[in-house]
């Protein structure tokens, strides 16, 4: 009988899988809106500006139960779970909303119309390093202060030491670390353990000024790779905190958060980036870049130019499993001229962009969810946005060919669900915006070969969609639309009118494929 009970208990554990929660850093307040248990384990939710969030890791392939409780008010009355495509069917249980999932997802949930909670569930880590031992450079052994009191040099000291031993790992244990500019050395890794926070001070004098963003503020590359590097990895379940309010609002200073620049075979896997004062994750003039399990959680009260992932003049870049919450664009590509604003510190002359994929992403923005541009001074080709969701945005998907006269070609938007469109991005509010414009003498260029397939447009915005060139010399051509489902219809739209595409000047060979 005992053997039977033991086997039954083991089967129950296997059936539910493993869940790992992370200690809420003491610098972050506890949510007063929600509490959460995952497989009966209490999670630690962070209160944040505009929404709350929680981070965890879980086994995949087994049912994992989430029990989300709304703290204020009465029982669960109404709720919304996004992305809708996962078709999660919860049940109401008094104050609790209960559901199970088999795979890890990034979810945005509201209950009874109160602020959203973002659940950042990742797969379990498979490559957790030890905190000490051969090839491990623990920052505490290099004088790092983990109390968050002093601006310390211990992390960079560990990075420099690791750089002399290719293949080594810099280990950041739980704690809060105020850090100046950090440069990750070639053929090394930076691991952020769950519960660790690397924090920007937001004070300009603590950082090297790398550029002045035109029309904005002076800025820095906060955490970057060294030039001409390779085989660098930044990973773990810790947090990279930009303190955007202090930097941008209080000190007139901005920071690119993580900048893989002039590097090859770079991996970013798992850390949570929050409160950016400028662009959050920006591969620049790099090749063979993998960005996965990315969580970018910005605020809506800092101002624009807080983009999520901007791929700049790079090739062979894949983003997989990402959520970006930002006032500005969530996922985009750009090419800019030499020695202008943010490009002043670039190591090479301007480069084309090619073979960039965004896959399984969630966008929440007041601007574009998925976008090419602005900035097309060098050709951009073979860019794919697929299997992704716009939770909220002013424009769902688009190409904004503004600034530059190079060509955009061979772009695919595939299997994307657009849930809510509202507000304005510039003067646009639509599910689709393919648009060429020429401000002043900045030039204009063509857009060629765009495939827009299997798009669910649950909300179309207040304006008609655009497939519009600039003039007879700068047109949009060779666009195909297939399986565009408007406003929850079960059959695809058959005409441009049904797709609410109302602006089509200077376009040619635009086809609806049935």
Q: Give the pLDDT confidence of 137-181 residue by residue, as tens digits.
A: 999 999 999 999 999 899 999 999 999 999 999 999 999 999 999
Q: What is the structure's pLDDT at 9?
A: 43
Q: What is the structure's pLDDT at 354?
A: 98
Residue 17 confidence (pLDDT) above 90: no
SS3 at position 101: strand
Helices (H), 243-393: 244, 251
Which DSSP string corresponds to 319-355? Answer: EEEEEEEESS-SEEEEE--TTSGGGTT-SSS---EEE
Token pair recorded at residue 493 = 């739209």
Contact at 8 Å (CB) between 76 and 92?
A: yes
Residue 54 confidence (pLDDT) above 70: yes
User: Nearest to residue 69, comparing CAs of 105, 33, 44?
Assistant: 33
Contact at 8 Å (CB) between 98 and 91?
A: yes
* Sign of the CA dihedral with 458 first, then 461, 462, and 463 last: negative
Q: What is the structure's pLDDT at 74?
A: 84
Please state whether beta strands 136-138 and 175-179 pair in parallel, antiparallel, or not at all (unpaired).
Answer: unpaired
Residue 8 confidence (pLDDT) above 50: no
Average pLDDT in the 246-254 region?
Answer: 92
Q: Which long-range contacts (CB under 8 A, 24 or more apart) does 25-30 make?
A: 25/176, 25/195, 25/197, 25/239, 26/176, 27/148, 27/176, 27/197, 27/199
Tell me the pLDDT band of 440, cut-offs 50, 70 and 90: confident
Tell me the pLDDT band of 249, cut-offs 50, 70 and 90: confident
Tell me the pLDDT band of 14, cut-offs 50, 70 and 90: very low
Partners of 289 in beta bridges = 266, 317
Q: What is the structure's pLDDT at 15?
A: 55
Q: What is the structure's pLDDT at 72?
A: 86
- Give the Cα-Cα-Cα angle 266, 268, 273 (nearest 5 degrees): 140
Contact at 8 Å (CB) between 357 and 377?
A: no
Token pair recorded at residue 462 = 């207040």
User: Nearest to residue 256, comparing CAs of 294, 309, 215?
Assistant: 309
Dist CA 312 CA 321 (whole Å):
20
Mean pLDDT of the chain: 95
Contact at 8 Å (CB) between 313 and 290?
A: no
Q: What is the structure's pLDDT at 438?
A: 84
Residue 146 CB: number of other CB atoms within 10 A? 17
Residue 60 confidence (pLDDT) above 70: yes
* Rounded percentage of the chain residues whose pLDDT exceeds 90: 93
Domains and CATH numbers, the chain: 13-123 (2.60.350.10), 397-514 (no CATH)
Distances (CA, A) of 367 to 428, 434, 456: 9, 14, 19
Contact at 8 Å (CB) between 109 and 80?
A: yes
Please state whether beta strands 287-297 and 182-184 pair in parallel, antiparallel, or not at all (unpaired).
Answer: unpaired
Residue 11 confidence (pLDDT) above 50: no
* Residues 6+ away with beta carbon under 8 Å from 449: 409, 410, 411, 477, 478, 479
Dist CA 398 CA 330 (whole Å):
12
Residue 309 confidence (pLDDT) above 70: yes
Partners of 338 in beta bridges = none
Dist CA 395 CA 358 (whole Å):
17
Residue 467 confidence (pLDDT) above 90: yes
Q: What is the structure's pLDDT at 214?
A: 85
SS3 at position 224: strand
Q: If you ran DSSP here, which 8-state letter would residue 145 be given?
A: -
């Amino acid at each position: 009988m005992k053997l039977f009970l033991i086997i039954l208990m083991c089967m129950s554990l296997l059936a539910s899988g493993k869940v790992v929660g992370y200690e809420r850093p003491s610098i972050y307040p506890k949510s007063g809106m929600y509490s959460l248990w995952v497989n009966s384990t209490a999670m630690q939710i962070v209160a944040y500006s505009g929404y709350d969030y929680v981070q965890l890791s879980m086994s995949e392939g087994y049912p994992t139960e989430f029990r989300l409780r709304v703290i204020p008010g009465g029982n669960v009355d109404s709720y919304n779970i996004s992305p809708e495509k996962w078709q999660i069917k919860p049940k109401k249980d008094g104050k609790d909303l209960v559901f199970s999932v088999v795979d890890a997802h990034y979810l945005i949930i509201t209950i009874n119309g109160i602020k959203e909670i973002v659940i950042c569930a990742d797969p379990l880590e498979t490559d957790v390093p030890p905190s000490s031992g051969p090839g491990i450079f623990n920052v505490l052994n290099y004088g790092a202060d983990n109390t968050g009191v002093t601006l310390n040099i211990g992390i960079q000291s560990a990075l420099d030491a690791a750089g002399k031993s290719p293949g080594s790992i810099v280990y950041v244990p739980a704690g809060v670390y105020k850090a100046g500019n950090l440069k990750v050395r070639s053929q090394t890794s930076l691991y952020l353990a769950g519960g660790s926070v690397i924090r920007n001070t937001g004070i300009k004098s603590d950082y090297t000024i790398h550029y002045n963003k035109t029309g904005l503020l002076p800025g820095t590359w906060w955490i970057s790779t060294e030039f001409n590097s390779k085989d660098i990895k930044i990973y773990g379940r810790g947090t990279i905190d930009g303190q955007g309010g202090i930097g941008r609002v209080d000190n007139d200073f901005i920071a690119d958060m993580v900048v893989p620049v002039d590097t090859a075979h770079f991996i970013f896997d798992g850390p949570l980036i929050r409160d950016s004062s400028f662009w959050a994750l920006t591969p620049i003039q790099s090749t063979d870049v993998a960005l996965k399990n990315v969580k970018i959680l910005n605020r809506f009260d800092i101002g624009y130019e807080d983009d999520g992932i901007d791929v700049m003049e790079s090739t062979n870049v894949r983003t997989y499993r990402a959520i970006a919450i930002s006032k500005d664009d969530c996922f985009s590509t750009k090419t800019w001229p030499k020695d202008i604003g943010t490009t002043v510190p670039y190591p090479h002359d301007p480069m084309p962009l090619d073979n960039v994929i965004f896959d399984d992403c969630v966008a929440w923005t007041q601007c574009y969810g998925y976008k090419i541009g602005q900035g097309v001074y060098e050709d951009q080709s073979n860019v794919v946005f697929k299997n992704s969701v716009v939770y909220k945005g002013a424009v769902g998907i688009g190409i904004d060919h503004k600034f530059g006269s190079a060509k955009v070609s061979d772009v695919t938007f595939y299997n994307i669900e657009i849930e809510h469109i509202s507000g304005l991005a510039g003067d646009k509010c639509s599910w689709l915006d393919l648009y060429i414009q020429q401000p002043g003498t900045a030039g204009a260029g063509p857009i060629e070969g765009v495939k827009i397939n299997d798009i669910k447009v649950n909300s179309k915005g207040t304006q008609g969609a655009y497939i519009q060139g600039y003039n007879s010399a700068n047109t949009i051509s060779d666009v195909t639309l297939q399986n565009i489902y408007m406003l929850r219809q079960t059959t695809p739209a058959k005409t441009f009118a049904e797709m609410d595409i109302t602006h089509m000047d200077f376009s040619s060979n635009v086809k609806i494929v049935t």
